[in-house]
Structures are given as C-alpha cells and as structure tokens.
C-alpha cells in the first residue's frame, strides 16, 4: 500500500483564515499522523459529560458505525460504580442518563478524572474523563455552582525559542508549565484548535480552555463555501474534544465587523455548534468598544452579542488606543447584562530594553509595565468583568511585524520573550491573578 499526502498552506480569499493572519503560517504536517485499525463494526462516536446544570446527571451517548438496531453497548465508570447497558436504535445510536452518586467534579484546583470504558460486542474504548458544570447566570460565570473569575492567558501553538511549531507532549508541557507559573486558571488557545497533546495535558493540569476557529479579519461572509468550511471546522473541533471537560468555551469569531452577512454567518455557526454540544459556553471576541465623549463611557454596539453566553473584548488601551481619560476614570458600559471577558490587552516591549515608562515609542519593559498597571486600574471600572486575558504569553513570529529594530518578524506583546525571559509586566499579572484567585 502506498499513501501520498499533499499539504498546502497557501492562503486564499475563501479560506479560514483568509488572506489576513497575525501569526506564522506554518506549512507541512506538524502533528501526529495515525493509521487506525478498526473492527468491521466499531464505536464511531461517544459523548460522556455532565448535564449542563445538574451535578450528578451524566449524559452518555454512543454511536456505532453500523446503523443497526438492537446492538448492546456498555458504558462503565468503575470508580462511580456505574455499569450501564444501552441498546442501539435503527441509526446505531444509544443514549442514557446516568445518576452519579458521590461524583467529584473536575476543577482547576482539583482536576479529577475518572476511568471510563465504552464497549460493544466488537470494540472497546478506554478514556480518562472529568465532569464539571459551567453555566452563566446574569453577569456571572459559574463553575460547579460557584461564581468564578477567569484568570486567563493566550498562547500560539509555537515554541519561540526554536521558531517552530509546538508538536509534541514535551512542547505542550513547556507552554502549559509557563501558564501555570503565571497563576492562571484558564487558557485561550489562539486562534485555532491546537494540538491534542496540549488539550489533554491542560485538562490534567487543571486549566479551563477556550478553543476557537480562526474566523478573523477578512473572512468572506457572503461566500457559502466559506460558511460550510467554517461549520465543518467548528464541528471537527467540537467532535474531537467533546469529552474534554477542561473545554469550557467554544469561540466562533475574533474581531469581525458587524453586517447582516456576518451575523447570518456567525448565527449558522452557533446553530451548528449547539446541535453537537450545549454543555459549553459560546463566546466571540470583539474589537468594537469605543469611548463616547458625550456619555464619558466606553460603549459598544453589536446586535450579535445577544446570541452569546459570554462576550469578550479585545482592547489595547495605551498601545493602539490613547487614553481619552485617566485609567481611574475609564468607565465601561458594555453588554451590561452578560459576563464580559477582556480577551486581549497589552502592548509590545523588547526584553531587556529600558526606557521612559511614559513614552510609548520606547518599546521598553517599563512602558509595557506601566500600560499593564493602567489597564488593571481600568478593570475596576467594568462592573460585569468576569475575566481577563493578556495578549500574550510568549513573543511570537509574525511576518507582518516590520519594525526593523524592535520586531524583525516578531510580535513583541509577550509577557515572556522569544528566549523564555520574563518581562516586568509578567510579575504584575502574576500578582493580579493571585489576588483574583484568592477572592474567588
């Protein structure tokens, strides 16, 4: 047998992402390739997760590859003394509700996983699965029934020290251990579904995850083929990680401009996602917040936010946007009936570069630290703020960053340099997160 695989990383207008992207457009096969041998009738799909609201009701769904009624399927969780036998319908599907007594729910503090076995007469799958509830009530995000502030960080699927893709379990451990040192309880995997090694290890280490597909600037929302690609990408992301309880958020867009076509496109993504999974929260990030000088408030208008569970905002005050008022006077009135996450903020600094903290063009650690202090002060003025996520953990490669002295093909917004050195702003965020976790 001979198998040939062609990989093409060329960007096109109808692709996702399209022609615009602010990260390195890696090519080649950068993840594991598996050849899987299955029996003639195999377990094609399974979903074993807690009901969205109940702490002791596990929903179990199984589908066999053979669409045949009357086949026996077993779902077993020995530690919970669960051993349920299901029977398939004419579509080869079986579903049940399992009452789990004395279930210990997964959390960042105690990332408990259970051994789960799904078996049929011809096939058997063994998994480590955790169980948790994540919901929204009013402007609060509840994890296992407790209001929780999301201390978050983002990173790309990249090891900057070697200027290459993060592709191995060791690479995942490096990125996640740096996130752990910062003290976060959540990671936004930007801006695309990242390696399964990262997702599974994050779950074991106790990180909530926000996963998203790269619906970013420049997407052709009028093209039906592009919409179908987006629906397929979202479906594939959800299907791969539907049993990873660490995944709390499915992200459907980042920095898109309002329009009738955009709204219809994103609505179709929400419909696609919710057909597969309603146990997670759906989120999108927007860069549309503006200062209204008459109201003396930061405001935003975008009707699509009403369809989301959580609204996220990218706002680079002090970097791309000058301060219209002092940070202590920067009051927000944005989507006041929903939880708000600041999903991106920060600015660029070259590690080791010293300069005036008041001069933005210094590209200094001092200015970046000042910018972070100012933003942290502003956060106190956002009444529905339920999480913050600096952009970004590491400096990362980007071909669109042209500053010859300070960038040279790198985005320097990292809290950590491309050589793994922590900048002054890293310590500010570590202390901020520690204070927020203690107040949770």
Among the candidates 75, 105, 132, a domain finishes at 132
Residue where a domain stops, chosen among 81, 116, 132? 132
User: What does 321-345 look like in DSSP terms, one character per residue?
Assistant: B--SS-GGG--B-SSTTS-EEEEE-
CATH classification of the domain holding 84? 2.60.40.10
215 and 234 part of one domain: yes
Residues 306 and 418 placed together within one structural domain of the fold: yes
- Give the rounded distance of the alpha carbon of 318 from its chain centre: 25
Q: Are 327 and 370 in contact (CB under 8 A)?
A: no
Tell me: do 106 and 237 sit in the same domain. Answer: no
Q: Give a yes or no: residue 365 inside a domain.
A: yes
- For residues 107 and 194, membership in a common domain is answered with no
Domain span holding position 77: 43-132
Do 127 and 244 lie in a common domain?
no
Same domain? For 69 and 159 the reply is: no
Sign of the torsion formed by the C-alpha atoms of 231, 117, 171 and 363: positive
Q: Is residue 1 part of a domain?
A: no
Number of domains in the chain: 2
> Is 107 contained in some domain?
yes
Q: Give the CATH number, domain containing residue 203.
A: 3.20.20.80
Domain boundary among 132, 150, 171: 132
Structure confidence at residue 217 (pLDDT): 85
Residues 313 and 386 in one domain: yes
SS (H, E, C) the chain: CCCCCCCCCCCCCCCCCCCCCCCCCCCCCCCCCCCCCCCCCCEEEEEEEECCCCCCEEEEEEEECCCCCCCEEEEEEHHHCEEEEEECCCCCEEEEEEECCCCCCCCCCCCCCEEEEEEECCCEEEEEECCCCEEEECCEEEECCEECCEEEEEECCEEHHHCEECCCHHHHHHHHHHHHHHCCCEEEECCCCCCHHHHHHHHHHCCEEEEECCCCCCCCCCCHHHHHHHHHHHHHHHHHHCCCCCEEEEEEEECCCCCHHHHHHHHHHHHHHHHHCCCCEEEEEECCCEEECCCCEEECCCHHHHHCCEEEEECCECCCECCCCCHHHCCECCCCCCCEEEEECCCCCCCCCCCCCCCHHHCCHHHHHHHHHHHHHHHCCCCCEEEECCCCCECEECCCCCCCCCCCCEECCCCECCCCCECHHHHHHHHHHHHHHHHC
The pLDDT, as a whole number, for residue 404 is 84
31 is a domain residue: no
CB atoms within 10 A of CB 200: 17
35 in a structural domain:
no
Question: Domain check: are 151 and 267 in the same one?
Answer: yes
User: Closest by alpha carbon to 416, among 161, 69, 245, 173?
Assistant: 161
Are 97 and 187 within one domain?
Answer: no
Q: Are residues 217 and 267 in the same domain?
A: yes
Q: Is 239 part of a structural domain of the chain? A: yes
Q: CA quadruple 78, 79, 84, 88: dihedral positive or negative?
A: negative
* Same domain flag for 271 and 393: yes
The DSSP bridge partners found for residue 142 are: 135, 147
How confident is the model at residue 401, as a pLDDT? 85
| Domain-embedded: residue 36 | no
Q: Is residue 34 part of a domain?
A: no
Residues 369 and 270 in one domain: yes
Q: How many residues does the chain have?
A: 440
* Rounded mean pLDDT for each run of 10 residues along the chain, 440 residues in total: 90 91 91 93 97 94 96 97 97 96 96 98 97 98 97 97 96 98 97 97 98 94 96 98 98 96 98 97 97 96 97 97 96 97 98 95 97 98 98 94 89 97 98 92
């Amino acid at each position: 047998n001979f198998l040939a695989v062609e990989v093409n990383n060329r960007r096109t207008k109808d692709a996702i992402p399209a022609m615009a992207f602010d990260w390195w457009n890696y090519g080649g096969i950068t993840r594991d390739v598996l050849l899987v041998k299955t029996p003639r009738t195999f377990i094609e799909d399974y979903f074993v997760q807690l009901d969205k609201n109940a702490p002791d009701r596990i929903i179990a769904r199984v589908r066999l590859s053979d669409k045949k009624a009357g086949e026996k399927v077993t779902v077993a969780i020995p530690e919970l003394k669960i051993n349920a036998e299901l029977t398939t319908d004419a579509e080869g599907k079986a579903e049940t509700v399992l009452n789990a007594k004395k279930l210990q729910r997964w959390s960042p503090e105690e990332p408990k996983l259970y051994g789960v076995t799904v078996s049929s007469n011809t096939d058997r799958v063994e998994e480590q699965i955790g169980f948790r509830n994540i919901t929204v009530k009013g402007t609060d995000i509840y994890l296992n029934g407790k209001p929780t502030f999301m201390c978050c960080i983002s990173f790309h699927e990249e090891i900057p020290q070697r200027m290459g893709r993060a592709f191995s379990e060791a690479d995942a451990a490096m990125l996640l251990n740096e996130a752990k040192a910062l003290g976060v309880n959540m990671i936004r995997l930007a801006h695309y579904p990242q390696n399964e090694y990262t997702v599974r290890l994050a779950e074991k280490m106790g990180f909530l995850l926000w996963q998203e597909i790269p619906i970013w600037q420049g997407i052709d929302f009028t093209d039906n083929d592009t919409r179908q690609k987006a629906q397929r990408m979202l479906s594939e992301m959800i299907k791969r990680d539907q049993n990873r309880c660490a995944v709390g958020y499915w992200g459907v867009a980042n920095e898109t401009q309002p329009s009738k076509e955009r709204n219809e496109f994103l609505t179709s993504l929400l419909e696609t996602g919710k057909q597969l999974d309603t146990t997670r929260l759906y989120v999108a990030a927007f860069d549309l917040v503006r200062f209204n000088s008459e109201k003396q408030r930061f405001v935003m208008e975008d009707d699509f936010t009403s369809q989301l569970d959580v609204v996220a905002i990218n706002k680079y005050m002090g970097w791309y946007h000058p301060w219209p008022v002092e940070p202590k006077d920067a009051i927000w009135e944005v989507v006041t009936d929903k939880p708000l996450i600041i999903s991106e903020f920060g600015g660029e600094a070259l590690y080791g570069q010293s300069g005036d903290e008041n001069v933005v063009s210094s590209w200094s650690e001092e200015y970046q630290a000042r910018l972070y202090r100012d933003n942290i002060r502003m956060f106190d003025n956002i009444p529905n703020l339920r999480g913050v996520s600096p952009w970004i953990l590491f400096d990362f490669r980007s071909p669109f960053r042209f500053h010859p002295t300070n960038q040279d093909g790198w985005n320097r917004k990292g809290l950590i340099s491309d050589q793994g050195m922590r900048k002054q702003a890293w310590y500010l965020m570590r202390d901020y997160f520690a204070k927020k976790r203690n107040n949770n």
